[in-house]
Amino acid sequence: MSLEAAVGDLANELGSYLDTSRINQVRRAFYYAEQAHEGQMRKSGDRYITHPLAVARILAGLRLDHQSLMAAMLHDVIEDTGIPKDALAEQFGDDVAELVDGVSKLTQIEFQSRAEAQAENFQKMTLAMAKDIRVILVKLADRLHNMRTLGPMPYEKRQRIATETLDIYAPIANRLGMHAISTELEDLGFAALHPMRSRYISKAVQKLRGSHREIIEEIQGRLQTKLEERGLPGRIIGREKHLNSIYNKMKLKQKSFREIMDVYAFRIITDTEDDCYRILGAVHSLYKPMPGRFKDYIALPKANGYQSLHTTLFGMHVNIEIQIRTEAMEHIANDGIAAHWLYKNEPSDVTSVNQTRVDRWVRGLMEMRERADDSLEFIEHVKFDLFPDEIYVFTPRGKIMELPRGATPVDFAYAIHTDIGNATVACRINRNLGSLSRPLQSGQTVEIITAPGARPNPAWLSFVVTGKARSSIRHSLKGRKHAESMDLGRELLKKSLVGFGKRMSDISDAQKQAVVTHNQVNSFDDLVSEIGMGNRMAYLVARQLVTGAEGSEADETTGDLQGGGNAPVTIQGTEGMLLHFATCCMPIPGDPIVGVMDSGSGMTIHSDTCPTLPDDDLGRSRLTQLTWAKDITSEFSVELRVEMERQRGVVAEVANAVAMADGSIERINVDEQNARFGEITLVIKVHGRKHLARVMRRVRNIKVVTSISRVKY
């Protein structure tokens, strides 16, 4: 087909929903792009302009507005032809220029890895989506045509584009409710990555479809007859299973090809929501419904706006899957957010709710983007939200919350508000206290209990599933780590300054700035934080502050490296994120202790007799002397070894003795020595040395215990 004929066909298609003046604007954009791309060819040998025209045809099929179609025609002009954005704005208006700018292939940047490049591109795409959601619709149409014409590309490029399509573009299309584009992208991506498997499954599907034609026609005939009997409007169409979907079910669910294909799927499209429920009753009277397989996505739409009734029936010795929906729901199921433009002149509740959902999702993406340290972390968070298999839970006031399957009460708390998530301490599920880590089930009522001053627990990262919860927790922990590194760094610097006979108040701003400049950091606070993180030595920074930055290059090994004289740093007993208690010696309050700075992770606290500590004078001089604060109420782990005569019930006796001394057992191991004697190793929680002595005395008083000792590795 000639270009003129293709443009004419597009104009005829647009004539069904656009007026003449807008069709002419689209034509003008085509001729401008044709002139701009003159002489450029695709890998296939076709003129380059055939690609923008094909992208516009895809968007016309979605019945998108004229500005989106103009942007489709012009989407490669800025990068490939050197025409500036300002020139496009002058010719076609600011809105079209902004769309083209958002969709243009992103400027090539030197990245450390392909993953980083992909993540950076996605981050920029998110910014463009936030400005105008049409950017992603044009981008998806662009990607779809590129996938349809992937054949002439080199093997490595085909693999890269197909992987990116399956990882990013197909899930985004699904998240926006655009099922038709999503499934085609998945099948094209699957065929590019696994051509042999794709061909094999495709042939098997065609062969099976031929042998099952009679059963399909008979089921469809019975369904049609039942609708006519009840006087219900509805057209029945068979549902095709997609190749990528079949492959994933075989791979992930360990199902055979025949198991998957022995399900007959139909869709019934009707006029009204009321008809949907009437048809459901009719098909249930024809075949028996399978318990637990009915889903009402009309009353509770999916997160991407999808609405339908799903039921599975058993009849004619086979399973029959049926979806029932209205025409409007069918358009939204296939075209998702693009259906918003189809119903723009006659807006319905369905499209406005769908638009609201998309806006909320894009706002959530922007929130995550602001919290992420880099594009790779951002895309890691987003991927959790690109595969939504939803559950529906209720707030105590009856509001429905949509969450991905596997979501926990912590995810629920962050879905309500970041501040509520950060202050969460417990939850009630159906009015009973529940676990924060247990996955929620659809239909549960969840109440979050908060407390002022509460902070996120790092352990939450091991079970939360939503991107928002994950990014919010990480953001909070980073802020906390910075605050703690500031506190610890300030304490260590003060102690080192005391060794030089100085206080922090004696140091002028000019001295601080000179040291900041010398160490090439942004601010004095950053320098203090680096000390707390273990990346810089407090003694050296103190010496620079006292003697001047230039005089700090003297031999580091001279003098008292800690510079603190006899002023030990006081430890409160609550580790925070930068004070860690060594597992080799497990120090507890009352033990003499020292601190070892670990680069990037703060300070590790050891018993000062720990065998892992350096034994030379230089190494010992680098340790920070510590002391315990008074009135510590925290619990600390300590390991004990108990030797005893073997006797029935002795382990229970030891556990009881620990409990009687107000200790708690964290872990217990029984090691057999011989037929007469045995050994128990147990880790217990105590408040300090006095408490430990009380526990050991209780255990030692058991008759069969021959010895008890504290274990230090």
Is residue 343 within 8 Å of residue 328, measured between CB atoms? yes
Nearest to 72 by CA among 81, 63, 59: 59
Please pick, among 80, 556, 608, 679, the residue that the annotation labels catalytic.
Answer: 80
Angle, in degrees to the nearest 10, between helices 467-499 and 349-371: 20
Backbone φ, ψ for residue 711 (5° rounding): -100, 130
Angle (nearest 5°) at CA 49 between 46 and 50: 55
Report the C-alpha gap between 673 and 667 in whole angstroms: 19
Instruction: Tell me how far CA of residue 73 lies from CA of 20, 41, 63, 70, 550, in angstroms.
Output: 18, 16, 15, 5, 62
Q: Does an H or E element contain 61, and which?
A: helix 50-61
Q: Do the beta carbons of residue 380 and residue 427 sit within 8 Å?
A: no
650-660 vs 689-700: helix crossing angle, rounded to 10: 140
Q: Of these residues, 79, 116, 296, 487, which one is catalytic?
A: 79
Strand partners, 236: 268
Provide the residue count of the chain: 713
The structure tokens listed for 442 are 């659809």
Residue 9 CA to residue 3 CA, distance in Å, equals 10
Residue among 303, 299, 306, 305 nearest 267 (CA): 306
Closest CA to 542 of 578, 491, 593, 484: 491
Per the CB < 8 A criterion, the answer to whether 470 and 384 are in contact is yes
Query: CA-to-CA distance for 514 and 507, rounded, in angstroms?
Result: 11
Measured CA to CA in angstroms, residue 372 lies from 380, 420, 467, 468 at distances of 10, 20, 11, 11
The arrangement of strands across the sheet holding 432-434 comes to 432-434, 424-429, 446-450
CA distance 368 to 473: 11
> Taking the mean position of all CA atoms in its chain, how far away is CA 439?
16
556 is catalytic: no
Q: How far are the Cα atoms of 173, 263, 325, 531, 572 from residue 216, in angstroms, in the given order?
A: 30, 10, 20, 73, 74
- Residue 465's nearest CA partner among 378, 559, 387, 545 is 387
In whole angstroms, what is the distance from residue 267 CA to residue 220 CA?
Answer: 10
List residues bridging with 237 in a β-sheet: 267
Q: How far apart are CA 291 and CA 273, in angstroms?
A: 23
| b/e per residue 332-357 (b: at least 16 CB within 10 A) | bbbbbbbbbbbbeeeeeebbeebbeb
Please, are residues 375 and 122 in contact by the beta-carbon 8 Å criterion? yes
79 has catalytic annotation: yes
> Smallest Cα–Cα separation from 607: which of 459, 713, 485, 693?
713
Fill in the DSSP letter of residue 648. T
Q: Which residues are catalytic?
A: 79-80
